[in-house]
Amino acid sequence: MGNANFELKYIETRWHDKSTLLEVNESLYSISIDEISNEIFEVQTTIYPKVVELNRSQFAISYTSQNVNIPPVIVLADGNTIPLKRIVNPESKKVWWIEHGAWDKKNKSWSTSTHKTAGKIIFKIGKQTLYLNINLVDASKEDLDKYLVDFKSGMWELILDENSYILGEAKQEEVGVVDESVLKIVDTALTHAKNILKKPKSELREVQIQKPYKEVKPVPRTFMELVTKGNARSLTSRGSEPNYNVPENGYVLYSLISMQRIVSQLCRVSRSKIERLKNNLQSLEERLFDLKDFKTINRDLVVKDYKKAVAEQDINAINAKIRRDLISVNGCELSQGYEWYIRITKKNKYGAYFCLFLLNNEWVPYGGCDFSSINLSEKYENLFLEYTDYRIFADISYQIVGNGNIAILSLNSLSVIEIIGNPGWLVRKQEKLEKMKQEAILLSKNGWKKYLTKQELDEQAKERSSIINRKEYFNKQHKNISYVATFLTPKEKQLRDIIKHLFSLGVKPLATFPNSMTFVQNPSYQAIHASYNKLKNQVGLTDEDVLMSLERIDNIGLVDITVLYERWCLLQLIKSFRQNFRFEPEISWKRKLLKILENKLFNEPIKFINQNSRRNILLSYEPRLENGKTPDFVLDLISENKAGGFTKKRVVFDAKFYSQAFMVKRGGISGVVKELALDKNYSEDERNAVFIFHPVTEALKDAGGPVSPQGWGNVSYLGELKLFDWDNC
């Protein structure tokens, strides 16, 4: 346990009511504590929320000295605190501190989030700090780390991106570059920090110490000792000792801590970029390998498309679906009206359809008129197709206008409908099906290889040249970033060692720059101040609030995996806009992003612009729709057409992180999408497209396997098939 003034255990409590504790069962072993420093400790633990027998267990803290009654607190991400509840074991009288939670009257227990939440919780226990890292068996440490590490790396990479701009509203844009100059800055700071440690600035502080009586410089206590002790060998005397906790050293320590944090994140970002560049290079190699004079066709997808085309031209299946739709429209199966044979042609400008009726094996206008049209009504219009012949049982009324030349009919009710004959659109489907069949036969004979045309070969040559150029670019980037990572990693450890040494001298960090001649007269103190400012300028962290925001987010506590996943998705959207679709963010995007990550109530949109495509994107996090609903993300897509006008489309996304069992209870992927789009009305009366982000392979399986020959088709489902048709959850 070392210097920790507390011990940790899981305990089970039994209550008579919320004020009367009956029993405390303590675990046999205390939780192992890792000591980071004298005041900072870390714990790794695992919770099992699905194990019913452990539902009453909870994380508990006990001071090693039972006389201490300062409540430990949970430190939230925004700096607020939640005090723990004091309980006393009725049998041993030992005092424990637990999360207060909410009282569960039915089960007579206190329900707590620490039993259900994976991630990190920060406790302040007296003057000491405890970081509790909780692993959830339902979402393993590896699963959580995948998002947690990628989220933090992605956040720092976006902010420290050397190709982006630091955004100060009233400042000139400065490009932050991680290059040789950054390495020199860090090296210079380390050299001068070591010089400072050799002879740090100090002040002599008067203290009282025991000295031989001949060397004593008396204080009032000295005379008291002479009266009470007589001729003692040593007496209390004035003395002095160096005090290193001076403003100059405090500022140096603060600067070195900030530099160490920046360097640490640069190392993290470098490692992340190295991994991404390796993946990019591997992908380019695979693309080069695939560039041949033929394309390999996925037989399974061809078969799937063929079966789908067969179903689409099956008149019996089509009529069966129309009958089901009719019953759904009517609400029941009707048997009324007269039998009609009607041919629907094109729609006129009044919203009705020109039509003909079968009379003596000939299609003619109704009632001997020159023209006839029928109003199908909104209720039945979707059941009919243009240029199609039908047999129906219906109640139809009519009127003759235009001096008896025009018959206008109205469909009042419909009880039976079926397509007859062979309409033109069906003939085209049959021709397409036959063409698909012949192409499939030819592909089968060629081993499912489709040889390229001359034009395709020319385009492929251009693509090969482009890939080679991109490989050279990525290889150069990979070499440079690897050099940065190799150089900075050991420097970061040296900075930590120097910081630890300054702490051991009793120095406390001071953020305010002291107005002292030391920074004029002493070149090492001056160099630390200059190096810190140069490093901030070089990486684009010229404003302290940006760095502080990054650090607060990086140490986010009480992480609920759904919130973490939401914010991870937000970063993926931004990275996709910038890296894949070449959208440039607005000037203040970084500050907006940090405010979003710090405070979910901030919902001012971030604007992205692509001048080449003349498209803009407004990305909002948890905005309030007109109907009062608040989805996770809203994308307002604004595009300019050739005439100079603008078209606006809205896409709504919601991030979900359900277990498979919970997803099934919600009706599967389709049930969740339907709930969001229709029940919660994220579609705003079907005006918006609604999607969800969800890391589950079942959607792909239920979709019938890959639905695209593209590489992402093996791991992603983007709704290529009609919604809800595939999902049988």
Confidence of residue 54 (pLDDT cuts 50, 70, 90): low
Task: Report the pLDDT averaged over residues 520-536.
Answer: 90
Instruction: Lowest mean pLDDT of 253-257, 306-310, 525-529, name the range.
Output: 306-310
- b/e sequence 537-556, b meaning 16+ C-beta within 10 Å: ebbbbbeeebbebbebbbeb
The pLDDT of residue 390 is 95
Q: Which two tokens stand for residue 540?
A: 């684009």
d(CA 307, CA 321) in angstroms, rounded, equals 17
Q: Which two tokens stand for residue 165?
A: 């701009």
Assess whether pLDDT exceeds 50 at residue 192.
Answer: yes
The pLDDT of residue 501 is 93
Assess whether pLDDT exceeds 80 at residue 540.
Answer: no
The pLDDT of residue 168 is 31
Assess whether pLDDT exceeds 90 at residue 495.
Answer: yes
The pLDDT of residue 670 is 77
DSSP 226: H
Phi, psi at residue 27, to the nearest 5°? -65, 155
Assess whether pLDDT exceeds 50 at residue 557.
Answer: no
Neighbour-count burial of 115, counting CB atoms closer than 10 A to its CB (0-12 exposed, 13-18 middle, 19+ buried): buried
The pLDDT of residue 8 is 85
Confidence of residue 724 (pLDDT cuts 50, 70, 90): very low
Enumerate domains of the chain plus CATH numbers. 6-138 (no CATH), 204-243 (no CATH), 334-420 (2.40.50), 552-714 (no CATH)
Phi, psi at residue 46, to the nearest 5°? -130, 140
Assess whether pLDDT exceeds 60 at residue 599.
Answer: yes
Task: Report the pLDDT averaged over residues 81-97.
Answer: 88
Q: What is the mean pLDDT of the chain?
A: 80
Task: Report the pLDDT averaged over residues 431-456.
Answer: 88
Assess whether pLDDT exceeds 80 at residue 45.
Answer: no
The pLDDT of residue 600 is 56
Confidence of residue 138 (pLDDT cuts 50, 70, 90): low
Instruction: Check: pTM over 0.85? Answer yes or no.
Output: no
Task: Report the pLDDT averaged over residues 676-696.
Answer: 85
Phi, psi at residue 670, to the nearest 5°? -65, -35
Distances (CA, A) of 616 to 51, 647, 660: 49, 10, 36
How many CB atoms are located within 10 Å of the residue 701 CB? 11
Higher-pLDDT residue of 613 and 252 is 252
The pLDDT of residue 217 is 77
Neighbour-count burial of 634, counting CB atoms closer than 10 A to its CB (0-12 exposed, 13-18 middle, 19+ buried): buried
DSSP 621: E
Neighbour-count burial of 98, counting CB atoms closer than 10 A to its CB (0-12 exposed, 13-18 middle, 19+ buried): buried
State percent of the chain over pLDDT 90.
19
Q: Which helix (H) or strand (E) holds 690?
A: strand 689-693
Max avg pLDDT among 88-97, 330-339, 590-599, 620-629: 88-97
The pLDDT of residue 555 is 62
State percent of the chain over pLDDT 70.
81
Confidence of residue 184 (pLDDT cuts 50, 70, 90): confident
Please give the distance of CA 641 from its chain centroid, rounded to a whole number.
32
The pLDDT of residue 311 is 84
Confidence of residue 618 (pLDDT cuts 50, 70, 90): very high
Task: Report the pLDDT averaged over residues 179-203.
Answer: 86
Q: What is the 3-state secondary structure (H, E, C) of 417-451?
A: EEEECCCHHHHHHHHHHHHHHHHHHHHHHCCCEEE
Task: Report the pLDDT averaged over residues 461-479.
Answer: 89
Q: What is the 3-state secondary structure (H, E, C) of 117-141?
A: CCEEEEEEECCEEEEEEEEECCECH
Assess whether pLDDT exceeds 50 at residue 434.
Answer: yes
- Looking from the CA of 539 toward its CB, the CA atoms found within 13 Å total 30
The pLDDT of residue 170 is 30
pLDDT in tens, 212-264: 877 777 777 777 777 777 777 777 777 667 888 889 989 999 999 988 888 88
pLDDT in tens, 354-372: 999 998 889 999 988 999 9
The pLDDT of residue 171 is 35
Q: What is the distance between the terminal CA atoms of the chain, rounded to a whole angstrom?
A: 50
